[in-house]
Amino acid sequence: MTNNRKENSFIDLHIHTKASDGTFSPTEMVEYAKSKNVVAVAITDHDTVAGIEEGLIAGKEMGIEVIPGIEFSTEIDDISFHIVGLFVDHKDKTLLELTDQIQNSRHNRAKMIIEKVNALNVGPEITLQEVEEVASGLIGRPHIASIMIEKGYATKMDEVFEKFLVRGGPCYVPRFKLKPQEAVSILAKMNAISILAHPGFIPIGYNFDEFLEDLKKFGLAGIEVIYPTHSPDQRKFFRKLAKKFDLLESGGSDCHGELSGGPYIGRTKITYQYLQKMKDRFGKK
């Protein structure tokens, strides 16, 4: 492939697999990317790097560039911020300790929610085992909710959340959350590239200038400008911020496989040039 052709090829720097809440295995995801002529993909599962090894092997076999990544859920003052890390060292001890800690806290949280549900005594008992059976990767509130629906606590997802699981509800248990600064620092320490993901979800009127200036001090490298739900105006706005703070522009589909309407790898048009710029700045091959 000539350089020029590579530059114009499509890539996708934000994808989930079965290792978190996607429906494709890492291998299936790479196969799908190949079928859509996407030449480079980043595996960015929520708070885990468990899918990376399989993805790297599949990528090598199929001639697709696989970038090891992660997506951290972080929070300050009840506002949630997702930080995508690219070029992570998926064998780094500190990273694995952190992902284990997050995993355990999810598990404990699920246990505590289930205890609260059972203590209410308003329906049949539910067990952790039942919930674990429906959760293929990371365990979360939707898995508990689906068992509750099965057992007649409510008829719809919204209703279970509203009645029991919502923040402030009778069975709510807060979650262990990193701060975005912490996620960015951990990534910076391993020379990974940290990206503020889907900034379009951050409430309108948020003080982005102050926030980005602060995160840059911790090593923030980029901002996800190209995202399926970003309007042309939002793209323009975030592109301007990227320029202002000398941040790299990133983009991806946030594909979760067949969840929420289908596989989206390749639907968000982002060219290899974006990845090349990242590699140039961070000395990555």
Binding-site ranges for Zn ion (CB under 5 A): 71, 82, 197, 254
Q: Which is nearer to Zn ion, 52 or 126 (CB)?
A: 52
Q: Which is nearer to Zn ion, 70 or 139 (CB)?
A: 70
Minimum distance from CB of 258 to Zn ion (Å)?
15
Minimum distance from CB of 34 to Zn ion (Å)?
21
Distance CA 50, CA 6 (A): 29
The residue with its CB nearest to Zn ion is 82
Q: Which is nearer to Zn ion, 142 or 169 (CB)?
A: 142
Q: How far is the CA of 143 from the CAs of 106, 109, 114, 128, in angstroms?
A: 12, 12, 11, 10
DSSP 209-243: HHHHHHHHHHT--EEEEE-TT--HHHHHHHHHHHH
Q: Which is nearer to Zn ion, 85 or 171 (CB)?
A: 85
Minimum distance from CB of 82 to Zn ion (Å)?
3
Minimum distance from CB of 208 to Zn ion (Å)?
17
Minimum distance from CB of 192 to Zn ion (Å)?
16
Other CB atoms closer than 10 Å to residue 21's CB: what's the count? Answer: 19
Minimum distance from CB of 71 to Zn ion (Å)?
5
Q: Which is nearer to Zn ion, 65 or 71 (CB)?
A: 71
Q: Which is nearer to Zn ion, 148 or 256 (CB)?
A: 256
Q: Which is nearer to Zn ion, 18 or 82 (CB)?
A: 82
Other CB atoms closer than 10 Å to residue 42's CB: what's the count? Answer: 28
Q: Which residue has the tokens 């689906």?
A: 146
Minimum distance from CB of 124 to Zn ion (Å)?
34
Q: Which is nearer to Zn ion, 81 or 164 (CB)?
A: 81
Minimum distance from CB of 255 to Zn ion (Å)?
8
